[in-house]
């Protein structure tokens, strides 16, 4: 039997990643995905993984404002691009309106799909500040969530959208108490 | 935000509020098991059997050992002691010593400097298998007693056989005007938590092992590690990390948890594993596929005279929770509608598939599907409205069922009324155009199992409380937050009792070194049991503080109230002090302030063998109406809307209860329409689709709208009257969809999932004038053991079985 190729011995290459506005000059294994570089080389474990095959959406990050499945993205191809992860959503101690709405409504249960959902929703609201329920569903159709049934997620995105448009908005009574 | 002032007597309980850990979950701060990194950490990978059934003839790990970067390779010989979640089925090995029983059974493991090296080393392990014929179904297990997958089975390859009878079932059928006889099949499904299972073990130089793991049951993992590793429990610490979804799939002690622990001991370095998604499918422990036959005797008004229920469970390769699962398929039929005489026969088979176990609703969604669809057929035959028929025959509150389950509060009637009103049932059912339909179904679920997994007389939940001089309160409990919000419930309850802000309570949970035992997040037990223990601990602290404050203010303790972070005179609230000052006063008077609380469920009235499964301190109730749209040309079923009412007693936090209900409806919808954990029977029992792409689960585009009603009255056995919400609301969804499909197109799909090919087949059969139905027609032949006959309470029974050889009451 021949010795298998050990990927861990592939050459590390120098790279420069701009994540949440911060530049990181590192060396990394050239075969790594963006997910792996974020989690393992930059310590940004807020980005999650559920399949590492592009099926669940948990690893979604934004690249120049567009959602990208970081588990399918070859890191080397994303140098010098504007990468946004969940760690960069809050402004210091102030949560992003999406994060705030998710907290208020209980849109994060186990919280594992949440980073990918938040970033995908953020991309949606940047493009379309007034999405319909159906547009939210379409935007989030690639993010699986097993806890919430998605309903509190829609309601939180809608609440955040209203607040980001400058409206005074509170959760609906029936979202919190039922009918 | 809604306020409950004036509606409820509480300041915290009953008010929607954020979870105490919500912000960490929305910012990436929450640390899940695979996020942990320790210095010198090694990576673990496991080699798994490619055969569903084989003997291991030889394993050679020499080449893997020799690979640069590999630190240890272990096989079954290194971990010879068996384990399992139930004491009666200690049938698993962390690594198979000589016998593999399903594709995915682990046979060897590697610890290496990184994941890629560990993966490369797996390819160098040589395993020689002697392939054995696999068993692929219950029917095949019943006719293939040899070779046995496990020597301890009740009969051949039938793991467990149950035969119980409560009251005179045949006499009940004799009184019936109609006997409905149905056969149903409920396919298996899996939890599919988005987080893959992960675990990290460290063995320090003092000989102490620490395991961080995404587990719902750290206490049971602790016990399994001590057993298999032959270490004193006092040298093992298990910390459950936040679970990225559980649903029952992280409730067993798993081979990978034991393997990384062993590798950490052998290498002296921390070892981590994160399973691949494919491996998560092999861990499984999900919904059992169950074939069911139910015969129901009814009088013309729809009242049940007797029910005879048979279930046949495809258990997969190991015991897991399977004995409990088998009993659960027969336990809760009696708690919704009055069933005066009841027979249950259950068989669980060993097959060469990934082991089944508890998934949300544990063993009860399958029979609930059968019961609720059979009732819909009965109502149709009797020309009764299915909602009105159910309402007339509800099991009464504060009653004991034929199988000795003690019912407390019972809000099912209110649930039915709310969903019927909301959905326009009376004006729309059986009146919608072809293709559109409404269906109703109901359910009930336990709020915590009455008995622990292993027999003991100790509490099911313990809570410890500590106050510091700054007025801070820390609460410790072994409970595990799997996203349902149990950490928050702990804080809310302590805050309510002590008059504090829940966000200021520090919560320490799920750490066997730091926290008193709580049995874990399963059986919908946590809010009730942890909650009662927390109330007791908080009341004890409150009393200690109140004594000191009462002495200082020269008042009776009864005059004091704890609210708004103050302790003061109820009648003159200006006389008092801050909670922090009260703690200082109490600590000065009587020393360090702290207390413990614990909870043990009351004994249930059943005294027969098998009566341990089903009893609970309280039962939740749900009713659901589903609206469907069926495409007659394709068989595609869309569910635009579900109305669901849930009797939760008193909601601790209604927003979180809503989240549980909506999540339950979602998971039920997936089971109703698409989810299938199935195998290619003609291709070596390989899993059909161990990936998230091909294992269909609902996305945002399939999920229905949900209108949720919270109903019910506080249950005296629950903390502040709370009952469960995590599992029960899943149960009525599948039968409601099935009944709605019948309303829409007049065909019966007596099988879950109700996927388009089945619906289309039934529609085509109907068009040809054949039976408009898809579903099984017969059950396997099983030689049942002798009956355990138990006279019912109505017959004057005392909960005990009639002893064999003794004539039943009145038979002499």
pLDDT in tens, B546-603: 999 999 999 999 999 999 999 999 999 999 999 999 999 999 999 999 999 999 999 9
- Residue pair B164/B784 in contact by the 8 Å Cβ criterion: no
B97 at interface of A, judged by CB pairs closer than 8 A: no
- Burial pattern B62-83, b for ≥16 Cβ within 10 A else e, equals ebbeebebbbbbbbbebbeeeb
- Burial pattern A138-150, b for ≥16 Cβ within 10 A else e, equals ebbebbbbbbbbb
Percent of chain B residues topping a pLDDT of 70: 98
Rounded to 10 deg, the angle between the A151-164 and A114-127 helix axes is 40
pLDDT band, residue A6 (cuts 50/70/90) = low
Q: Which residues contact B706 (CB under 8 A, 6 or more apart)?
A: A149, A151, B641, B642, B643, B644, B661, B662, B665
Q: What is the mean pLDDT of residues B403-416?
A: 98
pLDDT for B7 equals 45
CATH fold of B36-132+201-276, please?
Aldehyde Oxidoreductase; domain 3 (3.90.1170)
pLDDT for B4 equals 38
- What distance in Å separates the CA atoms of residue A109 and residue B484, rounded to the nearest whole number? 6
Beta-strand relationship, B748-749 and B773-774 = parallel
pLDDT for B683 equals 86
Q: Cβ contacts (< 8 Å) between B122 and chain A: which residues?
A: none
Token pair, residue B204, equals: 């320090």
Supply the CATH classification number for the domain A97-177.
1.10.150.120
Q: How do residues B298-322 score in pLDDT, each as one tens digit?
A: 999 999 999 999 999 999 999 999 9
Q: How do residues B470-507 score in pLDDT, each as one tens digit?
A: 999 999 999 999 999 999 999 999 999 999 999 999 99
Token pair, residue B414, equals: 């209110």
Q: Do B196 and A50 touch (CB under 8 A)?
A: yes
Give the strands of the sheet with B560-563, arranged side by side.
B560-563, B566-569, B576-578
Q: How do residues B594-616 score in pLDDT, each as one tens digit?
A: 999 999 999 999 999 999 999 99
- What distance in Å separates the CA atoms of residue B70 and residue B687, rounded to the nearest whole number? 31
pLDDT at B752 over 50: yes
For CATH 3.30.365.10, the residue range(s) in chain B are 164-189+286-450+608-774, 460-599
- Other residues' Cβ atoms within 10 Å of the Cβ of residue B233: 13
Residue B147, preceding peptide bond in cis (omega within 30° of 0): yes
B658 at interface of A, judged by CB pairs closer than 8 A: yes
- What distance in Å separates the CA atoms of residue B733 and residue B672, rounded to the nearest whole number? 7
Q: Which residues contact B504 (CB under 8 A, 6 or more apart)?
A: B472, B473, B495
- Residue pair B390/B337 in contact by the 8 Å Cβ criterion: yes
pLDDT at B396 over 70: yes
Q: Which of A82, A84, A55 is nearest to A69 (CA)?
A: A55
- What distance in Å separates the CA atoms of residue B689 and residue B681, rounded to the nearest whole number? 13
Q: Which residues contact B407 (CB under 8 A, 6 or more apart)?
A: B335, B395, B396, B397, B398, B399, B400, B401, B619
Q: Which residues contact B701 (CB under 8 A, 6 or more apart)?
A: A137, A138, A141
CA nearest B360 in A: which residue? A147
Least confident among A134-148, A161-175, B678-692, B729-743: B678-692
Indicate the SS3 state at residue B55. Answer: strand
ipTM: 0.96
Beta-strand relationship, A60-63 and A66-69 = antiparallel
Q: Cβ contacts (< 8 Å) between A152 and chain B: which residues?
A: 658-659, 662
Q: Do A48 and B194 touch (CB under 8 A)?
A: yes
Between the alpha carbon of residue B372 and those of residues A43, B305, B379, B518, B735, the distances in Å are 51, 16, 11, 34, 6
Q: How do residues B36-78 score in pLDDT, each as one tens digit?
A: 999 999 999 999 999 999 999 999 999 999 999 999 999 999 9
Q: Cβ contacts (< 8 Å) between B485 and chain A: which residues?
A: 106, 109
- What distance in Å separates the CA atoms of residue B437 and residue B430, rounded to the nearest whole number? 7
* DSSP line for B101-151: -STT-EEEEEEESSHHHHHHHHTT-EEEEEE-----SHHHHHH--SS-SST
Residue B753, preceding peptide bond in cis (omega within 30° of 0): yes
Indicate the SS3 state at residue B639. Answer: strand
pLDDT for B806 equals 55
For CATH 1.10.150.120, the residue range(s) in chain A are 97-177
Closest Cα of chain B to A79: distance in Å? 22
Q: Which of B124, B699, B708 lies closest to A178 in CB terms?
A: B708
- What distance in Å separates the CA atoms of residue B413 and residue B420, rounded to the nearest whole number? 11
**Alpha-helical runs (H) found in B571-719:** 579-590, 654-673
Kindly tell me the sign of the dihedral angle through the C-alpha atoms of B663, B669, B670, B675: positive
- CA B251 to chain centroid, in Å, comes to 9
For CATH 3.10.20.30, the residue range(s) in chain A are 10-88
Query: In residues, how long is chain A?
Result: 179
A169 at interface of B, judged by CB pairs closer than 8 A: no
Indicate the SS3 state at residue A6. Answer: coil
Q: Cβ contacts (< 8 Å) between A99 and chain B: which residues?
A: 23, 26-27
Q: Quote the radius of gyration of chain B (alpha carbons, Å).
A: 27
Mean pLDDT, chain A, integer = 95
CATH match of B164-189+286-450+608-774 with 3.40.50.2300 = no
Q: What is the mean pLDDT of residues B702-713?
A: 97
Q: Which of B18, B114, B247 lies closest to A104 in CB terms?
A: B18
Indicate the SS3 state at residue B792. Answer: coil
A152 at interface of B, judged by CB pairs closer than 8 A: yes
Percent of chain B residues topping a pLDDT of 90: 97
Q: How do residues A50-104 score in pLDDT, each as one tens digit?
A: 999 999 999 999 999 999 999 999 999 999 999 999 999 999 999 999 999 999 9
Interface test with B, best of A47, A97, A106 (most B CBs within 10 A): A106
Token pair, residue B107, equals: 């046979």
pLDDT at B809 over 50: no
pLDDT at B260 over 50: yes
CATH match of A10-88 with 3.10.129.10 = no
B28 at interface of A, judged by CB pairs closer than 8 A: yes
Determine which helix (DSSP H) or strand (DSSP E) holds A29, and give its type and residue range: strand A22-29
In words, the CATH class of domain B460-599 is alpha beta
Q: Cβ contacts (< 8 Å) between A88 and chain B: which residues?
A: none
- CA A83 to chain centroid, in Å, comes to 10
- What distance in Å separates the CA atoms of residue B734 and residue B742, rounded to the nearest whole number? 13
- What distance in Å separates the CA atoms of residue B495 and residue A101, rounded to the nearest whole number? 24
Q: Do B658 and A102 touch (CB under 8 A)?
A: no
- What distance in Å separates the CA atoms of residue B667 and residue B646, rounded to the nearest whole number? 16
**Alpha-helical runs (H) found in A70-139:** 97-105, 114-127, 133-139
Q: How do residues B211-257 score in pLDDT, each as one tens digit?
A: 999 999 999 999 999 999 999 999 999 999 999 999 999 999 999 99
pLDDT at B805 over 80: no
A120 at interface of B, judged by CB pairs closer than 8 A: no
pLDDT for B3 equals 37
Token pair, residue B304, equals: 């049940």
Q: Which of B441, B423, B324 is nearest to B729 (CA)?
A: B441
pLDDT for B2 equals 35
Token pair, residue B446, equals: 């336990």
- Residue pair B159/B141 in contact by the 8 Å Cβ criterion: no
Q: Do B194 and A178 touch (CB under 8 A)?
A: no
CA nearest B708 in A: which residue? A178
For CATH 3.90.1170.50, the residue range(s) in chain B are 36-132+201-276
- Other residues' Cβ atoms within 10 Å of the Cβ of residue B206: 6
pLDDT for B507 equals 98
A30 at interface of B, judged by CB pairs closer than 8 A: no
Kindly tell me the sign of the dihedral angle through the C-alpha atoms of B412, B413, B418, B420: positive
Q: Which of residues 58-97 of A touch B (CB under 8 A)?
A: 58, 85-87, 89-90, 95
Q: Cβ contacts (< 8 Å) between A106 and chain B: which residues?
A: 18-19, 22, 485, 655-656, 658-659
Q: Which residues contact B364 (CB under 8 A, 6 or more apart)?
A: B328, B329, B331, B332, B443, B445, B731
Interface test with B, best of A151, A160, A174 (most B CBs within 10 A): A151
CA dihedral B751, B756, B762, B768 (to 10 degrees): -170
- What distance in Å separates the CA atoms of residue B544 and residue B593, rounded to the nearest whole number? 8
Token pair, residue B424, equals: 């326009």
């Amino acid at each position: 039997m021949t010795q298998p190729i050990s990927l861990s011995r592939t050459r590390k290459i120098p790279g420069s990643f701009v994540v949440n506005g911060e530049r990181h000059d590192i060396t990394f294994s050239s075969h790594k995905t963006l997910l792996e570089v974020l989690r393992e080389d930059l310590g940004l474990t807020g980005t999650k993984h559920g399949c590492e095959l592009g099926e669940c959406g948990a690893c979604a990050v934004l690249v120049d404002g567009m959602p990208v499945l970081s588990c399918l993205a070859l890191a080397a191809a994303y140098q010098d691009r504007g990468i946004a992860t969940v760690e960069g959503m809050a402004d210091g101690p102030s949560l992003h309106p999406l994060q705030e709405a998710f907290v208020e409504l209980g849109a994060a249960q186990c919280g594992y799909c949440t980073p990918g959902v938040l970033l995908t929703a953020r991309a949606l609201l940047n493009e379309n500040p007034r999405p319909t329920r159906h547009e939210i569903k379409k935007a989030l159709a690639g993010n699986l969530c097993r806890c919430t049934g998605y309903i509190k997620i829609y309601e939180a995105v809608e609440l955040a959208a209203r607040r980001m448009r400058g409206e005074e908005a509170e959760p609906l009574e029936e979202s919190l108490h039922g009918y | 935000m809604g306020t409950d002032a004036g509606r409820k007597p509480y300041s915290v309980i009953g008010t929607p509020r954020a979870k105490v850990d919500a912000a960490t979950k929305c910012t990436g701060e929450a640390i899940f098991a695979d996020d942990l990194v320790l210095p010198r950490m090694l990576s673990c990978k496991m080699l798994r059997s490619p055969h569903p059934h084989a003997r291991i003839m030889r394993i050679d790990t020499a080449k893997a050992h020799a690979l640069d970067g590999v630190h240890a390779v272990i096989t079954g010989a290194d971990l010879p002691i068996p384990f399992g979640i139930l004491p009666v089925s200690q049938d698993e090995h962390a690594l198979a010593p000589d016998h593999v029983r399903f594709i995915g059974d682990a046979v060897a493991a590697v610890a290496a400097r990184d994941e890629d090296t560990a993966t490369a080393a797996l390819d160098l392990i040589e395993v020689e298998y002697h392939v054995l014929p696999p068993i692929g179904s219950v029917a095949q297990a019943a006719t293939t007693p040899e070779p046995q997958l496990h020597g301890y089975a009740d009969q051949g390859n039938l793991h467990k056989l149950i035969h119980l009878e409560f009251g005179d079932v045949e006499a009940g059928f004799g009184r019936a005007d109609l006997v409905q006889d149905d056969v149903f099949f409920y396919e298996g499904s899996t939890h599919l938590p988005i987080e893959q299972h992960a675990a990290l073990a460290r063995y320090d130089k003092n000989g102490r092992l620490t395991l961080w793991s995404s587990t719902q049951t750290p206490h049971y993992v602790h016990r399994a590690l001590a057993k298999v590793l032959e270490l004193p429990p006092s040298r093992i610490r298990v910390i459950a990390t936040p679970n990225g979804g559980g649903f029952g799939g992280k409730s067993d002690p798993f081979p990978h948890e034991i393997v990384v622990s062993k590798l950490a001991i052998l290498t002296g370095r921390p070892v981590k594993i994160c399973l691949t998604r494919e491996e998560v499918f092999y861990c499984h422990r999900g919904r059992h596929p169950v074939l069911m036959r139910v015969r129901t005797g009814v009088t013309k008004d729809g009242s049940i005279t007797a029910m005879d229920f048979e279930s046949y469970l495809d258990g997969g390769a190991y015991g897991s929770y399977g004995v409990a699962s088998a009993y659960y398929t027969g336990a809760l039929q009696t708690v919704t509608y009055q069933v005066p005489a009841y027979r249950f026969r259950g068989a669980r088979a060993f097959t060469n598939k990934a082991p089944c176990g508890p998934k949300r609703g544990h063993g009860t969604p399958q029979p609930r599907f059968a019961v609720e669809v059979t009732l819909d057929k009965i109502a149709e035959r009797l020309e009764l409205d299915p909602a009105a028929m159910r309402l007339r025959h509800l099991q009464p509150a504060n009653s004991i069922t034929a199988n000795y389950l003690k019912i407390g509060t019972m809000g099912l009637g209110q649930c039915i009324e709310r969903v019927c009103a909301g959905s326009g049932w009376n004006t729309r059912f059986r009146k919608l155009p072809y293709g559109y339909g409404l269906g109703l179904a109901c359910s009930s679920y336990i709020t915590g199992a009455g008995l622990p997994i292993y027999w003991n007389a100790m509490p099911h939940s313990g809570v410890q409380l500590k106050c510091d001089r700054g007025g801070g309160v820390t609460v410790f409990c072994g409970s595990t937050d799997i996203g349902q919000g149990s950490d928050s419930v702990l804080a809310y309850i302590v805050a309510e009792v002590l008059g504090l802000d829940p966000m200021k309570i520090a919560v320490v949970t799920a750490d066997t070194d730091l926290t008193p035992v709580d049995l874990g997040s399963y059986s919908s037990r946590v809010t009730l049991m942890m909650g009662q223990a927390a109330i007791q601990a908080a009341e004890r602290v409150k009393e200690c503080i109140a004594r000191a404050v009462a002495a200082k203010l020269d008042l009776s303790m009864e005059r004091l109230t704890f609210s708004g972070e103050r302790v003061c005179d109820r009648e003159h609230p200006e006389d008092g002090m801050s909670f922090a000052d009260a703690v200082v006063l109490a600590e000065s008077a009587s020393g360090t302030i702290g207390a413990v609380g614990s909870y043990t469920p009351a004994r249930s009235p059943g005294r027969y063998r098998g009566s341990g499964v089903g009893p609970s301190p309280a039962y939740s109730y749900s009713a659901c109406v589903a609206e469907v749209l069926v495409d007659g040309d394709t068989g595609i079923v869309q569910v635009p809307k579900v109305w669901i009412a849930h009797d939760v007693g008193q909601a601790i936090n209604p927003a979180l209860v809503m989240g549980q209900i909506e999540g339950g409806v979602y998971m039920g919808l997936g089971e109703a329409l698409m989810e299938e954990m199935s195998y290619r029977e003609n291709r070596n029992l390989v899993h059909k689709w161990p990936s998230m792409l091909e294992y269909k689960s609902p996305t945002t585009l399939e999920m229905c709208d949900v209108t949720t009603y919270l109903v019910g009255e506080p249950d005296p056995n629950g903390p502040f009257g709370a009952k469960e919400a995590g599992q029960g609301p899943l149960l009525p969804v599948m039968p409601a969809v099935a009944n709605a499909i019948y309303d829409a197109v007049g065909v019966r799909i007596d099988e879950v999932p109700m996927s388009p090919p089945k619906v289309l087949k039934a529609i085509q059969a109907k068009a040809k004038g054949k039976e408009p139905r898809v579903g099984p027609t017969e059950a396997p032949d099983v030689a049942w053991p002798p009956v355990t006959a138990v006279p019912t309470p109505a017959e004057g029974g005392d909960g005990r079985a009639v002893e064999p050889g003794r004539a039943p009451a009145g038979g002499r």
